[in-house]
Amino acid sequence: MAGIELANVSKSFGALKIIDDLSLSIRSGELVVFLGPSGSGKSTLLRMIAGLETIDAGSLLIDGKASEHLPPGKRGVAMVFQNYALYPHMTVRQNMAFGLQNIGMSSDKIEERVQEAAKILEMDNLLDRRPSQLSGGQRQRVAIGRAIVKEPKAFLFDEPLSNLDAALRVRTRVELAELHQRLQATMIYVTHDQTEAMTLADRIVVLNNRKIEQIGTPMEVYLRPSSRFVAGFVGSPGMNFMTANIDVASQPLARLGDGAALPLDFKVPGPGTYELGIRPEGVRVLGTPDSPSTSHAKAGVVERLGERTLVYCTLEDGTELIAQDSGRSGITPGDKVSLEFDASAVHLFDHFGQAYHAD
């Protein structure tokens, strides 16, 4: 397997800049997920690594070798697309072998690689079927097998699960994680689905507006977002945001619009108005108010998820947020509730979107 280095790469389509002076290092054997909204440049960046898009400026190293000017077939990477692109008239075996036949590999060697890939993907019994006889998940495994037989230096996945239904996506996602553990291969995975990113990645690269917003492990990105964008984009349901006035006379104190006061145990640049963010699990539903940090709210939608209950609340000043209660919560829509904020889970964002939170 191989490491991948991008240094100051840029890409434009006419006057529209897609990637702007981006640098990134991916370690050998690492599974890195490019996460971002539509139009953030994640698929373009992947295609630049694959050689399917040119790099306007900057350099690309694959396994230490300058690769920005190499054709796709010489880069030693294999790409798995959103669409399976299988040949319908060929069997699974023939689909997996086709690329190797085109480069003149011996039939014995091809069969060896096909059998090995089929064993890894647990699809030995499917080799003589045609794509029309397979489920969507099985077709995607064939597409992955077609990449495995090439024995690439790195695997590139471009939203490979988006065509699958919800249950099949979960199963295939687990299979991909297991595949990475077995192969210990360098993998780059593109998605806009943050659940896929959180469950698959060794590290997540959050992309937005032509640049990298943050790089970190899934929990680093979730618990310590570097910006207002990352805080709002990562997490399901999303982070709660509300206006807070900060007083730093002694210990920093965040005062919410309904009068609740939250002590902060981290430094802020100075007093003033900030945007306060807190995830639903940081807002606890209480039986009765018992502290200055308590807010009063009215419950709206109550979403029961088994192990937890999400309560969509409206504070007395009109602020809407999501709180979390136990799975056996007795709250019903219209109930008056009291909410306690976990001050250690609070994030502040200035008008530039810069984040401040506890270490």
Q: Is residue 231 assigned to a domain?
A: no
- Give tens-digit pLDDT for 173-183: 888 898 899 88
Last residue of a domain, one of 203, 225, 247: 225
Judged by DSSP in three states, 49 sits in helix
- 16 with 66, same domain: the answer is yes
Q: Would you place residue 292 in the very low, low, confident or very high pLDDT band (cuts 50, 70, 90)?
A: low
Nearest to 36 by CA among 288, 183, 212, 155: 212
In this prediction, residue 68 carries a pLDDT of: 94
Q: Is residue 314 assigned to a domain?
A: yes
Question: At 101, which CATH number?
Answer: 3.40.50.300
- 141 with 43, same domain: the answer is yes
Q: Is residue 9 assigned to a domain?
A: yes
Q: Would you place residue 1 in the very low, low, confident or very high pLDDT band (cuts 50, 70, 90)?
A: low
Nearest to 184 by CA among 27, 4, 25: 27
Last residue of a domain, one of 205, 225, 245: 225
- 91 with 153, same domain: the answer is yes
Question: At 302, which CATH number?
Answer: 2.40.50.140
- 67 with 214, same domain: the answer is yes
Helix axes 107-120, 136-148, angle to 10 degrees: 130
- Give tens-digit pLDDT for 34-69: 999 988 999 999 999 999 999 999 999 999 999 999
Q: Which residues, other chains included, contact 343 with Cβ-Cβ below 8 Å and sequence gap of 6+?
A: 262, 263, 264, 265, 293
Task: With residue 256 as reference, give the H or E element that holds it.
Answer: strand 253-256
In this prediction, residue 288 carries a pLDDT of: 52
Residues 209 and 193: their CA atoms lie apart, in Å, by 17
Last residue of a domain, one of 225, 247, 264: 225
- 244 with 219, same domain: the answer is no
* Three-state secondary structure of 174-217: HHHHHHHHHHCCEEEEEECCHHHHHHHCCEEEEEECCEEEEEEC
Domain boundaries, position 277: 237-357
Residues 275 and 256: their CA atoms lie apart, in Å, by 10
- 203 with 100, same domain: the answer is yes
- Give tens-digit pLDDT for 99-118: 899 888 999 999 999 999 99
- 63 with 155, same domain: the answer is yes
Cα–Cα distances (Å) from 240 to 159, 228, 315, 348, in that order, read 28, 11, 12, 11
Average pLDDT for the chain: 91
Q: Is residue 230 assigned to a domain?
A: no
Assess contact for 261 and 247: CB atoms under 8 A.
no
Q: Is residue 158 assigned to a domain?
A: yes
- 242 with 207, same domain: the answer is no
Q: Residue 348 pLDDT more than 70? A: yes
Q: Residue 205 pLDDT more than 80? A: yes
Q: DSSP code of 327?
A: T
- 221 with 290, same domain: the answer is no
Q: Is residue 81 assigned to a domain?
A: yes
Residues 257 and 297: their CA atoms lie apart, in Å, by 12
Q: Is residue 31 assigned to a domain?
A: yes
- 248 with 193, same domain: the answer is no
- 44 with 77, same domain: the answer is yes
Q: Is residue 232 assigned to a domain?
A: no
Total domains in the fold of the chain = 2
- 159 with 294, same domain: the answer is no
Torsions phi, psi for 346 (to 5 deg): -85, 140
Give me the count of residues in the chain.
359
